[in-house]
Amino acid sequence: MYWPESRTKIWFSHDAQDLSCAACPHGQEHYSKTEPRASARAIYSGASTVGNRVGFEFLKSAALRRRATLITLLLAGATAFGCARPQGILFEPIDPPRVWPMPPNTPRIRLIGAISGSGDLRASRSGMEGFLATLRGPRPPIRFSRPHSVAIHEPDLLAVADAAGGAVHVIHLEQRTHRLVSGWQGERFEVPIGVAWAGDRLFVTDAGRGEVIELDAQGRYHHRFGSKILRRPVGITYVPSRSQLYVVDGDAHCIVVFDLSGTFVRTIGRPGVEPGAFNYPTHLCCAGDRLLVADSGNFRVQLLDLDGRCVRTIGQKGNGAGDFALPKGVAFDREGHIYVVDAHFENIQVFDVQGRLLMAFGREGRGAGRFSLPAGLTIDARDRIWVADSGNRRLQVFAYLRTAS
């Protein structure tokens, strides 16, 4: 409990020994209902009459008793509510399962569930938290506005860039905590687009500010860089083998490489349509020595080595299977399959490493397993596919089934 010292004092009755707390109706004065107001003022000011000394000591004793009573009530409430209680598993089993492709084909993708905000985490709550919630009411949930990209720090720490919300969400799946980071040191995010983990360091691209912001795993600000080099940073990925960050600069049609201190290293690519050139690229990811880039304006994705040499292009403009209209999020699973989100087709297409189409899943809609303007995605070490379903204001989670189920 908290009462501002300048507002609230203790109002009590000598006769009844009533120690209940209420806002004093006479401002800054403690007083007894059975004594004149002048005597009450003398007691509050510490006047040195014998009677007033007795009254002052009584007031001190009453205040201490009241504090002890309050502490006892809080501890009793916490005990009554018990210790922290888990409120169930994060994703309830879906029955019947939602899988792709449909039977009788062998399923390869299964829907796990969705998260729209802190209310979906089913967080545990300690006894004290439960007791205080009954007094103050439940806290309002944190919700996604337009999640644009997602990154995971294994095993259970998620970062979500919320472009429309002007914030980054840091979610601990095991602890069931959800922290909203909207700014730092008087500054605010404008249009956060991309997120990437490098160990416990979280890097965020802000297309509005034209820079990269580094936070720690708790969402605390560390430093920022790139404002004199980047025009509109969007996608970002960390390359562990080189301890470098690769940042997509959409308006400059290139990839800019920085080391982890924010020092500029080099630029990859140029505007154009030939392999290795870009037209408004958006997202990228890294797996080993391979770099996958959504070359959105050229209606394709490009597979590059870490020096920017094009190994293969996948897709073209069109409405057929394997074609693209607006490719965005890209990712690899553990078997090297390539996943590409198409924000216009509102689905995800899966290719092998040679660029051959294997399957597609999802379509436009609001229901489970459907998308509205999907954007980024990432795949974790357990082959869970996390998709920023931007128009539906949620993350959808799928599993790649490596064997028949």
Q: pLDDT grade, residue 139 (50/70/90)?
A: confident
Residue 222 lies in a domain: yes
The answer to the question of residue 90 being in a domain is no
CATH of the domain at 138: 2.120.10.30
pLDDT one-digit tens code per residue, 8-25: 333 333 333 333 333 343
Containing structural domain, residue 288:
99-400
The distance from CA 320 to its chain's CA centroid, rounded to whole angstroms, is 35
The verdict on residue 92 lying in a domain is: no
User: What is the spatial distance between Cα 127 and Cα 68, in angstroms, rounded to a whole number?
Assistant: 19
Q: Is residue 136 domain-shared with residue 279, that is, in the same domain? A: yes
Do 24 and 163 fall within a single domain? no
The predicted model gives 158-170 an average pLDDT of 97
* Same domain as 348, residue 202: yes
Q: What is the pLDDT of residues 65-87, one digit of tens each?
A: 666 666 665 555 555 445 545 45
**Residue 72: its pLDDT value, please?**
62
158 and 303: one domain?
yes
C-alpha 385, offset from chain centre: 16
Residues 185, 236, single domain; the answer is yes
Point out the domain boundary residue: 53, 81, 109. Answer: 81
Closest C-alpha to 149, from 165, 139, 162: 162
104 with 13, same domain: the answer is: no
For the chain, the first-to-last Cα distance in angstroms comes to 53
Q: Which of 280, 317, 325, 285 is nearest to 303 (CA)?
A: 285
Is there a single domain that holds both residue 187 and residue 249?
yes
Number of domains into which the chain is organized: 2
Let me know if residue 14 belongs to a domain. yes
- The rounded percent of the chain whose pLDDT value lies above 70 is 74
Please check whether residues 205 and 278 belong to one and the same domain.
Answer: yes
Same domain, 159 and 308: yes
In terms of domains, do 291 and 337 share one?
A: yes
Partners of residue 143 on adjacent β-strands: 117
Q: Which two tokens stand for residue 368?
A: 């489970």
